[in-house]
Amino acid sequence: MGLFSRVCAALIALIVFHTMATGAQSQALAAINGGSGSSEETTSTDLPEPLSQDAVREMVARMSDDQVRDMLLDRLDAVAAAESQTGTPAGTGVFSQLNTLWVAFYSNPLDAIVKLPTLVQKQGEAIGGFVREFGGASGVFKMLGLTAIALAVGFGVEFLAQRLTKRWQRSLPPSDSATLRESLSFLFRRFMREIFGLIIFYFTIRMVGRALLDTQQLIFVAPMVTYLIWWPRLGAAVSRFVLAPKKPSLRLVSLDDHWAAFLHKNLVGLILLSGFTIFAVGFNMNAGHSLAETRIGFWLDSAVYLYIIFIAWSARDGLVELMRGSDPDRTEYDELVARCYPYYVIAVAAGMWVLVTILAGLGNVELLLKGAHYTTMFWLIIAPTLDMLVRGLVRHLVPPMIGQGPLAEKAYRSTKRSYIRIGRVLIAGIVLVLIANSWDMNIADFTSQRQGFGSRLIEFLMTLAVGYIVFEVVSLWINRKLAKEQTSSDPVSEDVAVGEGGGAGGSRLATVLPLLRLSALTGIVIIFTLLAVGTLGIDITPLLAGAGILGLAIGFGAQKLVTDIVSGVFFLIDDAFRVGEYVDVGGTMGTVEKISIRSMQLRHHRGNVHTIPYGSVEKVTNFSRDWVIMKLMFTVPFDTDPNKVKKIFKKIGAEMLADPLFENDFLEPFKSQGVLQFDDVGIVMRGKFMAKPGTQFTIRKEIYNRVRKEFADNGIEFARREVRVAIPGLDHDDELTDVEKQAIAAGAGGAVQAQVEQQSEKK
């Protein structure tokens, strides 16, 4: 119909333009007709039924210009009259709308104050009319008596049902040994017994009431029982399940006995007051009295908000304790929410009072009569406590910590926070849907129409929420995998920690997962951001085209960067190095400390950090892959038996291979390789062993200690560097004077110093 209306308006505009262009001709035609028939025909022209396109064309074809002009004026006058009646002229600005809301806000309580002196009188008239409608006081007492009988029967049947279902309730577990599962089982069974009893009570009084009361009486009794008996009892059952005011050992929330009893009592009172408000408003309407006559609804509704403010202010310490919970891993955000929660409840109550006052001032009370504002306020107030519930569930449902140590604890806390954030988004979405349904708004239909900025904004937020959940799920999965890989790897040995390179690296997943996480999360952010922007009605095609052009520009202008990235991808595919491995990259040696999409960082065993782009790497030598062979050399005097040294090495290798501290580190035991060479000092004996990367330094240290001990036990000394000075013609060295000995020592020292300098130059 919108398109058809615009077509009709265009046709009428063209006709008006034609009329203005041919005004002289119209006057001549009017003179010929004598000016009498035209007015009569104009006033008698009506819109055809049905109003189709063909009918409009036919009507316009047989109408004169004066008739078209008069019809257009009549329609404009009707629109102006309608706007004047509603008080909202076309083209209302923002300030005019704000003024309308302000008038609606203050006029409603002002009107209630003005009518306050007549409240008792008007309410008395409503009650009097109700009494007369039911046949006087006797009729009312008869109805109340029959209602009491129905209630008595309902309570009796409920009592029998509770006795029959008593076996459902297991015995109360001891307070000092009750687990969470046992406590939940006891509370849930008790709650289900109460709900079952309430259902039996409801159906019993419904059947008995229909048998004892007529339709007119049921119109009064049914809301009274529902709002003043059923709702408070249901709220009390839910409150007992959560707060357990008389069973502190089974309490699901962090509250002491005083605040648990206080909140339980006042929550039931709040539900009773809210039900009485809805019942009183409905009673007046059924009695034929307008809400504007007594304004009792305004005062009772305001009392509900004041009661909520009273509860929040009086129990603010208990509410803070409730929101803190018992989770030891609370964050600063959780602590801030806990401290602000009582004031948040007060703000929600005050804000809802303002909203309801404005809606009532504007005359939009249909949804208020259904209690939509109470539903909204309930979910807004309960949402932070649901967050506390999520934290409690995550504490018990999160997978156990993988491994031990600070790294495992950090990963465990990160996992918990991810679960909590996912739960918060889901709860926020559910709460918004429930609030929308209470106001008769279907989110699916609302977004499918895609009309206006409001619907697009909702779809935008929903897209961001879905993207955030996907972001957290992917991050959670990768972080758990990374934590498992990192905590399952062997700890860094003391020798590597103090600066010796060559330790064992991490797994391949531990190297690739950080890059995968960065790439995946970046892709999710970009994709869902573009999708969310598209839901706002913005064409993302130019953004995609601009991104492509920008990518080409970066590709041509930063070819070295592209080379580094591509080279890094192939190095990772080839598994050339991993985080923690000791490598040699073009003469630069160090442990792989960090990798990115463009470069790698090597930390030398002396502490220097080298950043090397992948594009400049031609060859990588890995010293930490699979196994390590270490060769040790010992110099003994020339008169030492090599076979004896060989047996000592073999003995040491067998002992260490049987030692529980080293048996899992050896791939091949320590053994002798015989005589390597002769030098100026003595015989150089060499031994070797094969071990797992990262363990060779501890093994080497232990071998040194054991060789020194075995040599001492077998009378073998390590060769020392000596300088022998031969003096021709000196046959009696024992006859040298002190001066001659000092001269010889000085000459020998100079010779040793010269030899050391020559060896240094060769190195």
pLDDT at residue number 694: 72
- Give the DSSP per-residue string, 743-754: HHHHHHHHHHHH
The answer to whether 253 touches 243, Cβ cutoff 8 Å, is: yes
Neighbouring C-beta atoms of residue 284, cutoff 10 Å? 22
What's at 690, amino acid-wise? M
Contact residues for 485 (Cβ-Cβ < 8 A; gap 6+): 506, 507, 509, 510, 513
Regarding pTM above 0.75, the answer is no
Q: Where are the alpha helices (DSSP H) in 295-405?
A: 296-314, 316-324, 332-362, 366-369, 372-397
Tens digits of residue pLDDT in 453-471 = 556 777 777 788 888 888 8
Q: What is the pLDDT of residue 595?
A: 78
- Residue-wise over 183-203: b if at least 16 C-beta within 10 A, else e? beebbeebeebbebbbebbbe
Residue 683 buriedness (CB in 10 A; 0-12 / 13-18 / 19+) = buried
Q: CB-based contacts of 79: which residues, under 8 Å, 6+ apart?
A: 90
- Copy the structure tokens of residue 346: 């007060």
pLDDT digits (tens, 9 = 90+) for 609-661: 888 887 778 888 877 777 888 888 888 888 888 888 888 888 888 888 888 88
CA 153 – CA 134 distance, rounded (Å): 24
Tokens describing residue 192: 């289900």
Cβ(502)–Cβ(582) below 8 Å? yes
> Judging by DSSP bridges, how do beta strands 582-585 and 620-622 pair with one another?
antiparallel
Using 70 as the pLDDT threshold, list the residues of the chain that sit under it. Answer: 1-93, 168-178, 180, 291, 396, 400-412, 442-455, 482-514, 543-562, 564, 568, 570, 574, 722-741, 744, 747-763
- With CA atoms as reference, report the closest residue to 126 among 221, 220, 223, 227: 220
Task: Give strand pairing partners of 507.
Answer: none
Write out pLDDT tens, residues 221-238. Answer: 899 999 999 999 999 999
Q: Which residues pair with 599 in a beta bridge?
A: 613
Residue 664 three-state SS = coil
Contacts of 188 (CB under 8 A, 6+ apart): 241
Residue 694 per-residue DSSP state: T
Find tokens 């007492």 and name the residue: 141
Residues 6+ apart with CB under 8 A from 391: 325, 327, 334, 420
Instruction: Quote the pLDDT of residue 498.
Output: 43
CA–CA gap between residue 634 and residue 347 (Å, rounded): 82
| Predicted pLDDT of residue 307 | 95
**Rounded to 5 degrees, what angle do the CA atoms 7, 12, 14 make?**
95
Predicted local distance difference test score (pLDDT) of residue 287: 74
Instruction: Give the whole-angstrom CA distance, residue 366 versus residue 359.
Output: 10
Check whether the bond before 245 is cis (ω within 30° of 0): no
CA distance 457 to 463: 10
631 SS3 class: strand
Cα–Cα separations (whole angstroms), residue 411 to 224, 404, 476: 55, 10, 10
The first and second tokens of residue 130, run together, are 């109700």
Cα torsion angle, 111, 114, 116, 118, sign: negative
Helix (H) or strand (E) holding 571: helix 559-573
Q: How far apart, in whole angstroms, are the C-alpha atoms of residue 621 and residue 576?
A: 9
Half-sphere exposure of 378 (CA within 13 A, CB side): 13
CA 668, 674, 679, 683 dihedral sign is positive
- Evaluate the CA torsion angle 630, 636, 642, 648 in order and state its sign: negative
Amino acid occupying residue 399 = P
